Amino acid sequence: MQIIFDCSEAAIKKAAQALIGGNLVAFPTETVYGLGADAMNEKAVCRLYSVKARPKNHPVIVHISSINKLGIWTADVPDYAIKLARKFWPGPLTLILKRSGLVEDYITGGQDKVGIRVPNQPVALELLKQFEQLGGIGIAAPSANKFGAVSPTSAVATQEEIGAFLGAEDLVLDGGQCLIGIESTIVDCTKYRPEILRPGAVTIEMVENTTKLPLALNLSKSDVKTSGLLQTHYSPKAKVVLDQNPEAGDGFISMASLPTPKGVMRLASPTSIDEFARELYVAFRAADVRGLKKIVVIQPEGGGLAIAIRDRLRKAASGK
Protein backbone atom coordinates (compact mmCIF):
# COMPACT_ATOMS: atom_id res chain seq x y z
CA MET A 1 0.00 0.00 0.00
CA GLN A 2 1.20 3.44 -0.88
CA ILE A 3 -0.14 6.83 0.17
CA ILE A 4 -0.10 9.43 -2.61
CA PHE A 5 0.36 12.81 -0.94
CA ASP A 6 0.66 14.84 -4.13
CA CYS A 7 -2.55 14.19 -6.07
CA SER A 8 -1.46 15.68 -9.39
CA GLU A 9 -3.35 14.78 -12.56
CA ALA A 10 -0.60 12.27 -13.41
CA ALA A 11 -0.79 10.66 -9.96
CA ILE A 12 -4.58 10.39 -10.19
CA LYS A 13 -4.24 8.80 -13.64
CA LYS A 14 -2.02 6.12 -12.09
CA ALA A 15 -4.67 5.56 -9.42
CA ALA A 16 -7.33 5.18 -12.13
CA GLN A 17 -5.10 2.65 -13.89
CA ALA A 18 -4.66 0.79 -10.59
CA LEU A 19 -8.45 0.54 -10.28
CA ILE A 20 -8.78 -0.73 -13.88
CA GLY A 21 -6.06 -3.27 -13.03
CA GLY A 22 -8.24 -4.66 -10.22
CA ASN A 23 -6.52 -2.93 -7.29
CA LEU A 24 -8.16 -0.97 -4.49
CA VAL A 25 -7.81 2.82 -4.20
CA ALA A 26 -8.94 4.69 -1.08
CA PHE A 27 -9.89 8.27 -1.95
CA PRO A 28 -11.23 11.42 -0.31
CA THR A 29 -14.78 12.63 -0.70
CA GLU A 30 -16.42 15.65 0.92
CA THR A 31 -18.12 13.32 3.45
CA VAL A 32 -15.61 10.61 4.46
CA TYR A 33 -12.86 8.62 2.74
CA GLY A 34 -14.09 5.76 0.55
CA LEU A 35 -12.38 2.46 -0.28
CA GLY A 36 -12.79 2.16 -4.05
CA ALA A 37 -12.89 -0.77 -6.45
CA ASP A 38 -13.93 -1.06 -10.11
CA ALA A 39 -17.66 -1.75 -9.70
CA MET A 40 -17.62 -4.07 -12.75
CA ASN A 41 -14.79 -6.22 -11.34
CA GLU A 42 -16.32 -8.85 -9.05
CA LYS A 43 -12.96 -10.03 -7.73
CA ALA A 44 -11.90 -6.51 -6.76
CA VAL A 45 -15.24 -5.81 -5.05
CA CYS A 46 -14.95 -9.12 -3.14
CA ARG A 47 -11.51 -8.11 -1.91
CA LEU A 48 -12.94 -4.77 -0.83
CA TYR A 49 -15.46 -6.66 1.33
CA SER A 50 -12.72 -8.79 2.85
CA VAL A 51 -10.49 -5.77 3.65
CA LYS A 52 -13.44 -4.20 5.48
CA ALA A 53 -14.51 -7.54 7.03
CA ARG A 54 -17.97 -6.62 5.83
CA PRO A 55 -20.84 -9.15 5.47
CA LYS A 56 -21.61 -10.06 1.84
CA ASN A 57 -25.27 -9.02 1.95
CA HIS A 58 -24.37 -5.35 2.55
CA PRO A 59 -24.75 -3.30 -0.64
CA VAL A 60 -22.10 -0.76 -1.70
CA ILE A 61 -22.59 2.70 -3.18
CA VAL A 62 -21.48 3.14 -6.80
CA HIS A 63 -19.78 6.49 -7.42
CA ILE A 64 -20.12 8.09 -10.86
CA SER A 65 -18.73 11.32 -12.37
CA SER A 66 -22.03 13.01 -13.21
CA ILE A 67 -25.78 12.65 -13.53
CA ASN A 68 -25.21 11.84 -17.24
CA LYS A 69 -24.01 8.35 -16.22
CA LEU A 70 -27.03 7.60 -14.04
CA GLY A 71 -28.89 5.74 -16.81
CA ILE A 72 -26.14 3.11 -17.10
CA TRP A 73 -26.80 1.90 -13.55
CA THR A 74 -30.50 2.51 -13.00
CA ALA A 75 -33.97 1.99 -14.44
CA ASP A 76 -37.36 3.72 -13.96
CA VAL A 77 -35.88 6.77 -12.21
CA PRO A 78 -38.78 8.86 -10.82
CA ASP A 79 -38.94 12.60 -11.57
CA TYR A 80 -38.36 13.53 -7.94
CA ALA A 81 -35.08 11.59 -7.95
CA ILE A 82 -33.91 13.50 -11.04
CA LYS A 83 -34.76 16.75 -9.23
CA LEU A 84 -32.67 15.66 -6.24
CA ALA A 85 -29.74 14.61 -8.43
CA ARG A 86 -29.85 17.89 -10.40
CA LYS A 87 -29.98 19.96 -7.24
CA PHE A 88 -27.44 18.16 -5.03
CA TRP A 89 -24.93 16.37 -7.30
CA PRO A 90 -22.02 16.56 -7.03
CA GLY A 91 -22.72 16.41 -3.31
CA PRO A 92 -23.37 14.47 -0.10
CA LEU A 93 -26.43 12.61 -1.39
CA THR A 94 -26.82 8.92 -2.27
CA LEU A 95 -29.90 7.90 -4.25
CA ILE A 96 -31.27 4.36 -3.99
CA LEU A 97 -32.85 3.50 -7.35
CA LYS A 98 -34.11 0.48 -9.25
CA ARG A 99 -31.07 -1.19 -10.78
CA SER A 100 -30.43 -1.64 -14.52
CA GLY A 101 -29.77 -5.03 -16.13
CA LEU A 102 -26.05 -4.36 -15.93
CA VAL A 103 -25.87 -4.32 -12.13
CA GLU A 104 -24.80 -7.56 -10.48
CA ASP A 105 -25.81 -8.97 -7.10
CA TYR A 106 -22.31 -8.49 -5.69
CA ILE A 107 -22.90 -4.70 -5.79
CA THR A 108 -26.41 -4.66 -4.32
CA GLY A 109 -26.23 -7.54 -1.86
CA GLY A 110 -28.84 -9.28 -4.02
CA GLN A 111 -31.37 -6.42 -3.82
CA ASP A 112 -33.11 -5.12 -6.95
CA LYS A 113 -31.98 -1.55 -6.19
CA VAL A 114 -28.64 0.19 -6.31
CA GLY A 115 -27.12 3.15 -4.42
CA ILE A 116 -25.52 5.89 -6.59
CA ARG A 117 -23.61 9.05 -5.68
CA VAL A 118 -21.59 11.81 -7.39
CA PRO A 119 -19.12 13.04 -4.75
CA ASN A 120 -18.14 16.71 -4.52
CA GLN A 121 -14.38 16.58 -4.01
CA PRO A 122 -11.80 17.54 -6.66
CA VAL A 123 -9.58 14.45 -6.24
CA ALA A 124 -12.61 12.13 -6.30
CA LEU A 125 -14.07 13.82 -9.40
CA GLU A 126 -10.73 13.73 -11.23
CA LEU A 127 -10.33 10.03 -10.31
CA LEU A 128 -13.81 9.28 -11.66
CA LYS A 129 -13.11 11.24 -14.86
CA GLN A 130 -9.79 9.47 -15.50
CA PHE A 131 -11.30 6.10 -14.59
CA GLU A 132 -14.14 6.62 -17.09
CA GLN A 133 -11.66 7.70 -19.77
CA LEU A 134 -9.99 4.31 -19.32
CA GLY A 135 -13.32 2.55 -19.89
CA GLY A 136 -14.55 2.26 -16.31
CA ILE A 137 -18.18 3.08 -15.56
CA GLY A 138 -18.39 3.34 -11.78
CA ILE A 139 -16.35 3.03 -8.59
CA ALA A 140 -17.84 0.95 -5.79
CA ALA A 141 -16.83 2.63 -2.54
CA PRO A 142 -18.00 2.06 1.01
CA SER A 143 -16.48 4.17 3.76
CA ALA A 144 -12.83 3.13 4.24
CA ASN A 145 -13.22 1.72 7.75
CA LYS A 146 -13.47 -1.76 9.22
CA PHE A 147 -17.10 -2.90 9.36
CA GLY A 148 -18.94 -1.16 12.22
CA ALA A 149 -16.03 1.18 13.03
CA VAL A 150 -15.69 4.95 12.59
CA SER A 151 -15.35 6.25 9.02
CA PRO A 152 -11.95 7.88 8.36
CA THR A 153 -11.93 11.56 7.38
CA SER A 154 -8.24 11.87 6.43
CA ALA A 155 -5.67 9.82 4.50
CA VAL A 156 -3.68 9.09 7.66
CA ALA A 157 -6.81 7.87 9.48
CA THR A 158 -7.57 5.70 6.43
CA GLN A 159 -4.09 4.19 6.55
CA GLU A 160 -4.39 3.53 10.31
CA GLU A 161 -7.81 1.95 9.82
CA ILE A 162 -7.21 -0.41 6.88
CA GLY A 163 -3.58 0.07 5.71
CA ALA A 164 -2.46 -3.26 7.19
CA PHE A 165 -5.11 -5.13 5.18
CA LEU A 166 -4.36 -3.59 1.79
CA GLY A 167 -2.10 -5.17 -0.82
CA ALA A 168 1.23 -3.89 -2.20
CA GLU A 169 -0.42 -2.40 -5.32
CA ASP A 170 -3.31 -0.71 -3.51
CA LEU A 171 -3.27 3.08 -3.02
CA VAL A 172 -4.54 5.75 -0.65
CA LEU A 173 -5.02 9.20 -2.22
CA ASP A 174 -4.48 12.07 0.21
CA GLY A 175 -6.96 14.85 -0.51
CA GLY A 176 -6.78 16.45 2.91
CA GLN A 177 -9.39 16.52 5.64
CA CYS A 178 -13.02 15.86 4.59
CA LEU A 179 -15.07 19.07 4.66
CA ILE A 180 -18.35 17.59 5.90
CA GLY A 181 -17.00 14.77 8.07
CA ILE A 182 -20.02 12.43 8.25
CA GLU A 183 -21.48 10.13 5.58
CA SER A 184 -23.89 11.17 2.82
CA THR A 185 -27.65 11.41 3.13
CA ILE A 186 -29.24 8.25 1.69
CA VAL A 187 -32.65 8.69 0.03
CA ASP A 188 -34.63 5.66 -1.15
CA CYS A 189 -36.25 6.72 -4.45
CA THR A 190 -37.85 3.38 -5.36
CA LYS A 191 -41.33 4.32 -4.14
CA TYR A 192 -43.72 7.10 -5.15
CA ARG A 193 -42.26 9.40 -2.53
CA PRO A 194 -38.79 9.70 -1.03
CA GLU A 195 -37.69 8.03 2.18
CA ILE A 196 -34.56 9.05 4.06
CA LEU A 197 -32.62 5.96 5.17
CA ARG A 198 -29.62 7.82 6.58
CA PRO A 199 -29.65 11.56 7.43
CA GLY A 200 -26.71 13.71 6.33
CA ALA A 201 -25.72 17.15 5.13
CA VAL A 202 -28.53 17.18 2.55
CA THR A 203 -31.23 17.71 5.15
CA ILE A 204 -34.83 16.54 5.43
CA GLU A 205 -36.03 20.09 4.66
CA MET A 206 -33.82 20.26 1.54
CA VAL A 207 -35.26 16.96 0.25
CA GLU A 208 -38.84 18.11 0.93
CA ASN A 209 -38.29 21.55 -0.61
CA THR A 210 -36.70 20.11 -3.75
CA THR A 211 -39.13 17.26 -4.38
CA LYS A 212 -42.21 19.13 -3.08
CA LEU A 213 -43.28 15.75 -1.72
CA PRO A 214 -43.92 14.75 1.86
CA LEU A 215 -41.39 12.19 3.05
CA ALA A 216 -42.55 8.62 3.61
CA LEU A 217 -44.37 7.69 6.80
CA ASN A 218 -42.56 6.90 10.07
CA LEU A 219 -40.35 9.88 9.64
CA SER A 220 -40.73 12.99 11.69
CA LYS A 221 -38.18 15.77 11.64
CA SER A 222 -36.50 14.51 14.80
CA ASP A 223 -36.82 10.77 14.31
CA VAL A 224 -35.30 9.37 11.16
CA LYS A 225 -36.01 5.81 10.12
CA THR A 226 -32.91 3.83 9.28
CA SER A 227 -34.47 0.78 7.66
CA GLY A 228 -32.02 -1.75 6.34
CA LEU A 229 -29.16 -0.03 8.10
CA LEU A 230 -27.63 -1.34 11.30
CA GLN A 231 -28.43 0.38 14.56
CA THR A 232 -24.94 -0.34 15.87
CA HIS A 233 -22.33 1.39 13.80
CA TYR A 234 -19.85 4.23 13.70
CA SER A 235 -18.39 3.09 17.04
CA PRO A 236 -14.97 3.95 18.40
CA LYS A 237 -13.25 1.49 20.77
CA ALA A 238 -14.07 3.77 23.71
CA LYS A 239 -17.59 3.56 25.12
CA VAL A 240 -19.74 6.48 23.94
CA VAL A 241 -22.16 7.93 26.52
CA LEU A 242 -24.64 10.68 25.66
CA ASP A 243 -25.78 13.73 27.62
CA GLN A 244 -24.23 12.92 31.01
CA ASN A 245 -21.75 14.70 33.23
CA PRO A 246 -18.22 13.58 32.34
CA GLU A 247 -15.96 12.30 35.12
CA ALA A 248 -12.21 12.74 35.52
CA GLY A 249 -10.35 10.75 32.85
CA ASP A 250 -13.29 10.75 30.39
CA GLY A 251 -13.12 12.25 26.94
CA PHE A 252 -15.61 15.07 26.31
CA ILE A 253 -17.24 16.43 23.14
CA SER A 254 -19.73 19.28 23.16
CA MET A 255 -20.38 22.68 21.68
CA ALA A 256 -17.72 25.19 22.76
CA SER A 257 -20.21 27.07 24.95
CA LEU A 258 -20.05 24.29 27.57
CA PRO A 259 -16.98 24.38 29.84
CA THR A 260 -14.67 21.40 30.36
CA PRO A 261 -14.97 19.94 33.89
CA LYS A 262 -11.71 19.45 35.80
CA GLY A 263 -9.70 16.35 34.90
CA VAL A 264 -11.74 15.72 31.76
CA MET A 265 -10.05 15.53 28.34
CA ARG A 266 -11.73 17.87 25.86
CA LEU A 267 -11.72 16.18 22.42
CA ALA A 268 -13.64 18.81 20.43
CA SER A 269 -15.17 22.23 21.08
CA PRO A 270 -17.09 23.05 17.90
CA THR A 271 -18.61 26.50 17.57
CA SER A 272 -21.14 25.50 14.90
CA ILE A 273 -23.10 22.41 13.82
CA ASP A 274 -20.98 22.14 10.64
CA GLU A 275 -17.85 22.09 12.78
CA PHE A 276 -19.42 19.49 15.09
CA ALA A 277 -19.92 17.14 12.12
CA ARG A 278 -16.44 17.83 10.75
CA GLU A 279 -14.72 17.16 14.09
CA LEU A 280 -16.81 14.27 15.46
CA TYR A 281 -15.00 11.29 13.90
CA VAL A 282 -11.62 13.02 14.30
CA ALA A 283 -12.39 13.31 18.03
CA PHE A 284 -13.51 9.65 18.27
CA ARG A 285 -10.20 8.58 16.71
CA ALA A 286 -8.18 10.85 19.00
CA ALA A 287 -9.89 9.19 21.99
CA ASP A 288 -8.90 5.72 20.76
CA VAL A 289 -5.31 6.80 20.05
CA ARG A 290 -5.11 8.03 23.66
CA GLY A 291 -6.64 4.78 24.91
CA LEU A 292 -9.58 6.50 26.64
CA LYS A 293 -12.25 4.16 28.03
CA LYS A 294 -15.21 6.51 27.82
CA ILE A 295 -16.30 9.50 25.70
CA VAL A 296 -19.14 11.69 26.93
CA VAL A 297 -20.92 13.63 24.16
CA ILE A 298 -23.49 16.35 24.72
CA GLN A 299 -25.71 16.08 21.65
CA PRO A 300 -26.20 19.22 19.57
CA GLU A 301 -29.75 20.56 19.39
CA GLY A 302 -31.76 21.60 16.35
CA GLY A 303 -32.77 20.35 12.91
CA GLY A 304 -30.79 19.98 9.68
CA LEU A 305 -27.31 18.52 10.05
CA ALA A 306 -27.77 18.20 13.84
CA ILE A 307 -30.27 15.38 13.11
CA ALA A 308 -27.55 13.49 11.22
CA ILE A 309 -25.06 14.04 14.05
CA ARG A 310 -27.53 12.71 16.64
CA ASP A 311 -28.21 9.68 14.38
CA ARG A 312 -24.50 8.79 14.33
CA LEU A 313 -24.16 9.47 18.06
CA ARG A 314 -27.09 7.18 18.92
CA LYS A 315 -25.55 4.41 16.83
CA ALA A 316 -22.09 4.94 18.29
CA ALA A 317 -23.56 4.87 21.81
CA SER A 318 -25.43 1.61 21.22
CA GLY A 319 -22.20 0.00 20.04
CA LYS A 320 -20.97 -1.31 23.39
Instruction: Give the footprint of ligand TXA on this chain (CB under 6 A).
Output: 29, 31-32, 34, 58-61, 94, 96, 108, 111, 113-115, 117, 119, 141-143, 183-184, 186, 228-229
Q: Which is nearer to ligand TXA, 134 or 229 (CB)?
A: 229
- The minimum distance between CB 315 and ligand TXA, in angstroms, equals 11
- The minimum distance between CB 161 and ligand TXA, in angstroms, equals 12
The amino acid at residue 306 is A
Q: Which is nearer to ligand TXA, 33 or 252 (CB)?
A: 33
> Which partner, Mg ion, ligand TXA, none, binds residue 316 by CB below 5 to 8 Å per kind?
none
Site size for Mg ion, by CB under 5 A? 1
Q: Which is nearer to ligand TXA, 22 or 228 (CB)?
A: 228
Q: Which stretch binds Mg ion (CB under 5 A): 59-67, 139-147, 220-228, 240-248?
A: 139-147
- The minimum distance between CB 210 and Mg ion, in angstroms, equals 25
> Which partner, Mg ion, ligand TXA, none, binds residue 59 by CB below 5 to 8 Å per kind?
ligand TXA
- Cis status, amide bond into 55, omega within 30 of 0: no
- The minimum distance between CB 268 and ligand TXA, in angstroms, equals 20
Q: Can you tell me which of 121, 143, 153, 211 binds Mg ion, judged by CB under 5 A?
A: 143
> Which partner, Mg ion, ligand TXA, none, binds residue 190 by CB below 5 to 8 Å per kind?
none
Which residues in this chain contact Mg ion in the complex, by CB under 5 A? 143
